[in-house]
């Protein structure tokens, strides 16, 4: 079990194989500050190598999820610089790498949105595998209303919502509450309050516990590739992935447990 890093804008709690990551920076309304990006990258470093973690829950404190980009710090020293030398460009590019890492984590990621999720916060939710929203949840692709572009989050927004809905939300600056987000598939589960998310999370964890950790990681990676794959070459890669899983310790244990009509070893952790 890896040691969790020190953080400035996050509260961390480990509960067996689940890691709870709570954004807690009320002064910025949980904005995507440099400190928050640093802290989240530190968490990604741990989760990518610690095979004892099987799920990560991302949530916000104080009735907030994430207010998006830290616009007060954007482009403050960019005068006279070439675009790709500017702090604004580098900060945005770094955010894109963070979103990619969140989306591709080899564990199940769950966002619990209780409060505003604007701009980059909207994108952070879309990077997650499962999204829970409450009655206080508020979603908006707010960039265009500020004359900006929802750039780095666009692949994940389109992946979750589809091009038609993503365009409508981005090009109108629409705001959605939890019910509206559920109707368009932005969130997977609606609960009235954050407290009522707890039993729902327990139910989700029970499902995760029935699945082999390495098989989940390989399946998630393969599904991401499948979304934009060249079909002939993907068929070879998919066969490789299945053969590898079949001959892994998990695969052998799973098949043997099926034959013996018992639970596989990893399921005992539920």
Instruction: Quote the pLDDT of residue 270.
Output: 46
β pairing state of 10-15 and 18-23? antiparallel
Percentage of residues of the chain with pLDDT beyond 90? 79
| Tens of pLDDT, residues 166-191 | 999 999 999 999 999 999 999 999 99
Q: Considering the entire predicted model, what is its pTM?
A: 0.92
pLDDT means per 10 residues, the chain with 270 residues, are 91 97 96 95 96 97 92 64 76 92 97 97 98 98 92 95 97 96 98 97 97 97 89 83 89 92 80
**φ and ψ at 188, to 5 degrees?**
-90, -30
How many Cβ atoms sit within 10 Å of the Cβ of residue 195? 10
**φ and ψ at 133, to 5 degrees?**
-125, 150
Tell me if 216 sits within 8 A of 225, measured CB to CB: no
Map tokens 């070879």 to a residue. 236
Which residues make Cβ contacts (< 8 Å) with residue 56, sequence separation at least 6?
18, 19, 21, 43, 47, 105, 107, 108, 109, 110
| Tens of pLDDT, residues 52-90 | 999 999 999 999 999 998 877 665 556 667 777 777 788
* Mean model confidence pLDDT for the chain: 92
In a 13 Å sphere around the CA of 185, the CA atoms on its Cβ side amount to 11
- What structural domains does the chain harbor? 10-208 (3.90.226.10), 211-269 (1.10.12.10)
Tell me if 119 sits within 8 A of 68, measured CB to CB: yes
């Amino acid at each position: 079990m890896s040691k969790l890093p020190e953080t400035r804008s996050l509260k961390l709690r480990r509960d067996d194989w689940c890691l709870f990551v709570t954004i807690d920076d009320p002064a910025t309304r949980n904005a995507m500050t440099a400190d928050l990006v640093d802290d989240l990258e530190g968490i990604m470093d741990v989760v990518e190598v610690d095979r004892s973690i099987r799920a990560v829950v991302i949530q916000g404190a104080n009735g907030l999820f994430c207010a998006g980009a830290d616009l007060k710090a954007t482009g403050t020293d960019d005068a006279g610089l070439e675009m790709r030398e500017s702090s604004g460009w580098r900060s945005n590019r770094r955010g894109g790498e963070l979103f990619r890492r969140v989306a591709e984590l080899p564990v199940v990621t769950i966002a619990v949105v209780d409060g505003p999720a604007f701009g980059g916060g909207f994108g952070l939710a879309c990077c997650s595998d499962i999204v829970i929203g409450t009655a206080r949840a508020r979603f908006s692709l707010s960039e265009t209303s500020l004359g900006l572009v929802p750039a780095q989050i666009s692949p994940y927004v389109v992946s979750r919502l589809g091009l038609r809905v993503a365009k409508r939300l981005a090009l109108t600056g629409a705001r959605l509450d939890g019910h509206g987000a559920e109707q368009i598939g932005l969130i997977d589960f609606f609960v009235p309050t954050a407290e009522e998310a707890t039993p729902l999370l327990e139910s989700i964890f029970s499902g995760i516990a029935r699945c082999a950790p390495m098989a989940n990681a390989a399946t998630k990676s393969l599904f991401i590739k499948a979304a934009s794959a060249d079909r002939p070459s993907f068929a070879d890669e998919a066969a490789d992935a299945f053969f590898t899983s079949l001959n892994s310790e998990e695969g052998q244990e799973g098949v043997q447990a099926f034959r013996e009509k018992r639970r596989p070893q990893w399921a005992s952790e539920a």
